[in-house]
Amino acid sequence: MRRWILRTAALALLIVASPAAFAQTTQADKAAARALFDEGRKLASSGKHADACPKFEESQRLDPGVGTMFNLADCYEAMGKTASAWSMFLEAAARLKSEGAPAEKEQAARQRAAALEPRLSRLKIVVPDGAVVPGLLVSRDGSETKKGSWGTAIPVDPGQHVIEASAPGKKPWRQAIDVAKDGANASVTIPVLEEGKGTAPVAPAARADRAQPKKTEDKKGLHARDGLFLTLRVGGGGVTDKLKYQGVIPADGQATGGSGAFEIAGGWGLKPGIILGLAVHIEQVANPKVTLGGIQVDQKIGTLGLIGPTALWFFKPEGGLHVAATFGAANISVNDKSDNTRDNTATGAGGSVGIGYDFWVGDKWTVGGMGRFLAARLNDSSANMNHTWTSGAILLTGTYN
């Protein structure tokens, strides 16, 4: 809502300047610019931004104006061209300042630019010393990239970009790379150009996602952890269930044993590398050693279930090392081994934390492992028994994302 209010107020402040002249233009150009601007406004208000942007661009070319720039920037933002929108808002702010316009108009444009900064995707072109030769020309999307820009992450619009390098007596080199949206960081390294002449074909587009590591283009299927997320974990470990009997003769005890663990979680990426969703944990001890008041009691099969909201955070948004946490309602059912009928049930709350690592085995699939700790406090009112369940497990993981 705050963003919508800011956008509406900013447009109201600047629309009166559309399209104010920056330079001398003919009356015919001004008339054409006005018609294009009005048509662009109608298209934008109908949500047809792909059609509106060219109208604003041509209006700006014919009769440059701050209002046209602001509407064009707004159109770029709606289309996801964050770098173009950010640059245009800043250019409009600078023009307003130079013309002595009211401070609130300049501030409106700068606020819109500032709001875009966290979403800017960036592309860094790295030129190693060994690749620098006399006459080397590096370009991005047909525009020369000067030496001063080498090694610097430059804001770019999300989508495919073509990087080229050429030099006298060398074979030209080209690489297409896809830069993801919402803060992606992509990097392309210019290789040592081969001797000879000719035209190099455009290499297949490399995938460049959020917080991209070096040479991501060589890693098949690597992409950011966002969108739909489903994971399955299976494994085993050990359980200790501290018992506290509060009946006629209070007594303490515990149940210990090896456990099998099964977990399933699903969620959605709020932003690259941060997943929120719902998880279910099931853990079973098949042959526990149970003592109460120093006396060994009949062996039982104990099963714990935990269900609740879960969160995953990846140290690098494209995956790899990550932590997971789940908190929610817990339940323990204790079954008699002789006939496998449920004997007692305890309810309460618990949580788990884990640290894991996964790696990509396909465009949407990863496998890996996790070490997980779980704890829960539960009460069985019918048996006057309190449980403090703790466990550790090593899990194998498979994830669809």
Residue 337 has pLDDT above 90, yes or no: no
Percentage, residues of the chain above pLDDT 70: 82
Q: How confident is the model at residue 222 (pLDDT cuts 50, 70, 90)?
A: very low
What would the mean pLDDT of 297-305 be, rounded to a whole number?
77
Q: Sketch out the chain's domains with CATH numbers.
A: 2-118 (1.25.40.10), 121-218 (2.60.40.1120), 228-400 (2.40.160.20)
How many Å apart are CA 158 and CA 180, to the nearest integer? 5
Position 304 confidence tier, pLDDT thresholds 50, 70, 90: confident
pLDDT band at 274; cut points 50, 70, 90: confident
Question: What pLDDT score does 15 carry?
Answer: 44
7 Cβ contact list (under 8 Å, min separation 6): 74, 112
Task: Answer positive or negative: Cα dihedral of 12, 16, 22, 27.
Answer: positive
Residue type, 182: D
What's the pLDDT at 211? 40
Residue range 291-313: average pLDDT?
A: 82
| Buried/exposed code over 34-45 (b: 16+ C-beta within 10 A; e: otherwise) | bebbebbbebbe
Q: What is the mean pLDDT of residues 80-96?
A: 93
The H-assigned helical ranges of 26-150 are 27-45, 49-62, 66-78, 82-98, 103-116
Q: Is the pLDDT of residue 7 over 70?
A: no
Please give the average per-residue pLDDT across 132-161, as a whole number: 94
Distances in Å between the Cα of 367 and the Cα atoms of 217, 231, 266, 319, 399 are 20, 9, 16, 11, 6
- What lies within 8 Å, CB to CB, of 118 at 6+ separation is 183
Confidence of residue 363 (pLDDT cuts 50, 70, 90): low
Report pLDDT for 165: 95
Q: Does residue 22 register a pLDDT over 90?
A: no
Is 90 exceeded by the pLDDT of residue 290? no
For residue 130, is pLDDT > 80? Answer: yes
Question: Which range, 92-106, 157-171, 221-235, 285-299, is most confident?
Answer: 157-171
**Does residue 10 register a pLDDT over 60?**
no
More confident call, 258 vs 8? 258
Supply the pLDDT for residue 318.
65
**What pLDDT was estimated at residue 142?**
92
Q: Does residue 25 have a pLDDT over 90?
A: no
CA distance 178 to 173: 17
Is the confidence at residue 355, as pLDDT, over 80?
A: yes
Best-predicted range by mean pLDDT (110-114, 293-297, 340-344): 110-114
With a cut of 80, say whether residue 230 has pLDDT above it: yes
State residue 285's pLDDT score: 87
- Mean pLDDT value of segment 309-334: 87
- Sheet strands side by side (includes 143-144): 143-144, 137-140, 159-166, 173-179, 203-208
* Residue 241 pLDDT level (bands cut at 50, 70, 90): confident
Residue 13 has pLDDT above 50, yes or no: no
pLDDT in tens, 181-221: 989 999 999 999 999 865 444 445 555 444 443 333 333 33
pLDDT for the residue 294: 77
The predicted model gives 72-93 an average pLDDT of 93
- The number of beta carbons lying within 10 Å of the beta carbon of residue 267 is 21
Mean pLDDT throughout 153-160?
95
* Residue 302 or 72, more confident: 72
